[in-house]
Structure formats: structure tokens, C-alpha cells
Amino acid sequence: MTQTFLDTRLPLFSDLRYKVKDMSPETARFGRKEMELALYEMPGLASLREEFGASQPLKGARIMGSLHMTIQTAVLIETLVALGAEVRWVSCNIFSTQDHAATGVVVGPNGTVQNPSGSPVFAWKGETLAEYWWCTLQALEWPGSPTGGPNMILDDGGDATLLVHLGYEHEQKGTLPNVDAAESEEEKIILQMIIDVRRAKGDKYWTKMAPAIRGVTEETTTGVHRLYLRQQEGTLLFPAINVNDSVTKSKFDNLYGCRHSLVDAIMRATDVLIAGKKALVCGFGDVGKGSVDSLRGQSARTAITEIDPICALQACMRGIDVITIEDALAQDFDIYVTATGNKGIITADHMTKMRHNAIVCNIGHFDNEIDMAGLEAMALRGEVEKIEVKPQVHEWKFKNTKHGPNGKGHSIIVLAEGRLVNLGCATGHPSLVMSASFTNQTLAQIELFKNAENYGKTVTVLPKHLDEKVAHLHLDKFGAKLTRLSESQASYIGVPVNGPFKTDAYRY
């Protein structure tokens, strides 16, 4: 009997070439057309195709990608393929897949629905967590690979990297994880997968796969944190490039992208007027700064919470109040946005005290900034009712509070079940913003694939000259004209005429 994984009804190891929601001609056409339009708005990726298409620097690369399966990601995937790579892909979030993008990639530029010729994708919007981890395993499985897996990983949040490391560590120790010791439902699923893989494949599956992986390029703050922690502990199995902290990623994606996409998501989800509302943004890093700009751009009365005195002082210098969540609850704020990258920011207890129909959402990476597990536990006890308004928009109606209509229970509106609101309730960042992020990713993949031996088992930020190159590739789109230094001027400030123009310590 074929072994299936948990309640997915899917074989743990399948021979499926892809699994997406909809392979209809209409969906394929929609995906391909949007990819065509997006490429025009992604000059960095278009330039890399032109520069490296002939030399094929990724020939021989087997890249497993775990990153939101959007139209912009589809353009990234086909850029990697154009540079010589083989690619298999999953989304890194159960709600972020744009199904027409997934279908478009599978069909490919020269294929048809009946005879798809693109890259394998395992992703659809609205996966369960068990399906999500099943998809991750399918993308790591590599037919025809001598090691059974990829030789490069492109990660967002570190889930693919995590699975390889955990599997490898348990095989090396000769142990199986204790599912009962898991701290969350998702961790139970991950640990169960490691157990099931061992039973199906023996004790050398990850041991064979991991050493062949030349490196990982990591997209986001949480995944980078995980990598640095492994480097400090001496448990990192292969080199990593920290794409997130390239200036042209962190500023474009985290700051300018969130400035565009946060209110887009809130308005698509709720249709409420944001102007005049009181909004709290938890965290004032780059994501928080972009989120504040987004809300203030709609004339919301915006405040922030912070733990970092420097970020807090920056907020003060912009005329933004720095308060606590408790202050916001006492002042009946209307909108709460988490943007910290940490956990347990808005608790279930906080949500019992919010004003009626307050909107709660997250634009940080994971789903535990908002205590969704606490809400679910309250629902099991009958203290709150979860009511779907539409997909990824839920009313949580409290039974025992007294500050709702007519002195009865109040409600709150939770978006995207606490996961990334801009991808769960909208379409994420615009193409031009993601062009900068994904140009960084492509350059990082080329660098690691060609020169992994030069890095050791370390985490490295993409060099400054490549960061500046990414910016250069996007200036023509804005009609920008750079001033050129004379030899004398360059000598005076101690930089090369052609850059890099700033030291690594410079803060943009």
C-alpha cells in the first residue's frame, strides 16, 4: 500500500511532475500574459538574461526554490532557467501562491496545457500545512540527480534549509524526533515528515543529499536569522548568501514594497476607509517603516511600538508616536499591523480588549506574530466564534466581552489568518520592486554556484559592487542620470571612479 503523508492523501514520495490548482488553458494564458507584462517591469532580470544568456553560468545548477509563487517569482524562475539552471519550486507560504503564476511556470514559454514544458511547481493558494510540507519535499526530490536532490537552494524564511538540516542531523545521530515535544502544530508536521522519510528511505536519505548542496541564498529576515544562528553554533552544512541585507533588497522589498502593498491588502480585504483611522504598527525596522508610510499615505493616524531605542528615536524624528500595545488598546485603535519578525506580539488576550471590528494583520514573515493558536484554543472552548467573510478574511466574534454593539460581545477582523497580509489578501509587492530583490537572488545564485568553495560554511552578504550593480540596472527605468566622478574627486573621497561608492559600514 502506498504511504501517504498525514491527512494529505498524497503519496509521501510521488512521481508527479508538478501539482498546481488549475491547468486550464484560460489560467495558463492569464499566467503567461501577466509574466510577459511583469518582465517589462523587471529590468534587472531582463538585463541579466541579456548579459548571461549566452554564457549559461548556471548550467549544471539544480535549484530548489522555496519562495512565494507569484507572477514576479515566475519571472525569476524563468530567468534562472534562461541562465542554464534546472529548477523545482514551492511557495513558502500557504496563502501566497498566485495560481495562474504556478500554472504559467509549469506550462512554460513553449509548452501547452496538454504538453507542459516548463519547470515543476508544487504550490497552490490555500494549502494546509501538511500539504505545504509535502510540496517542499517534492521540490527537494530530484529525478535523475545522483544525490536525489538539488545542488542549490533559493530560500525565503529558511524552511527548505531547515528540513535538510534537521533530517541530516537526526540521521547523523541515529535518532528520530519526538513529535510530542513539538511546540506547535507546524513543528509536529515537520518532525513527522522526518520520521516518515526515514521509514520510507532508510537512514542515508538526507546524508546523501546535504553534502551535494553548494549553497543557499536566503531572501528574508527570519531565514537569515536562522542561518546566522547555525553559523554561530557550527551546524551550518553549506555556505549561505544573505540576500535580505543587500541594500537593494532590504530597502526595495522591505521598505518600498511594503509602502505599496500593505494598504492595498487592507483595502482589498475590508473596503474600509483608512483615512482618519488610528493604526498601530508593531516594529519600526524597514518593514515597519514601509508599513507606516503606507498607512500615513492614506492619512491614518499612525503610531508604532518598538524595543530598539534607535528605531524608536527615528520614529520620533518623523513625528510618529511610540507607544505600547496596551496604550493602543486603551485608546481604541482601529488597525493593528505586526512587522517585527518576532513571535507573540499580539496575544489572544490583547484581541479580547480591542475595539469592535478592529482589523488585525501581519506583514512580518511568519504566522506567530499574532497569537492565532490562542484564538483557535478559545474557539475550541466556545469563547469565540470564527466566521469566514471571504477567503483569508475572518471575523472572530467574542462571546464573553461586553464592549460590542448593545453591550454584547465584540468582533475583530483578522486578515490572512495572521500570515503575510500583502500576499494573502493582495498580490504582494509590484514587479519593479521585486526586480531588485530577484536580481540580487540571481547574482547570488551565480556567485555561490561558481565559487562556493571560497566561502566555507559561512553566511555572507552579497558584495557591495554587486549591490550597486543591481541599482544600476534599474535606473534607466526611472530616467535617472548619474553624475560621474573625476579622478581627482574620486581620489579626494577615497573611492574608485566606478565604485563601490560607500563602505560596508555606511547606512543608507
Positions annotated as catalytic residues are 68, 91, 96, 156, 219, 244, 249, 253-254, 258, 365, 429, 437, 441
Q: Is 362 exposed, middle or buried (CB count within 10 Å of its CB: 0-12, 13-18, 19+)?
A: buried
- Return d(Cα 411, Cα 362) in angstroms, integer: 18
Q: How distant, in Å, are the alpha carbons of 244, 247, 250, 464 from that of 468?
A: 15, 9, 13, 6
Q: Is the peptide bond before 43 cis (omega within 30 degrees of 0)?
A: no
Report residue 477: phi and psi, to 5°: -60, -30
b/e string for 116-137 if b means 16 or more Cβ within 10 A? bebbbbbbbbebebbbbbbbbb
Residue 272 CB neighbours (<10 A): 14
Report residue 108: phi and psi, to 5°: 80, 165
Question: H or E element: which one contains 66?
Answer: strand 62-66
258 touches 283 (CB < 8 A): no
Transcribe 372-440 into DSSP letters. Answer: HHHHHHHHHTTSEEEEEEETTEEEEEESS-SSSGGGS--EEEEEGGGSBHHHHSS--S-HHHHHHHHHH
- Return d(Cα 97, Cα 329) in angstroms, integer: 34
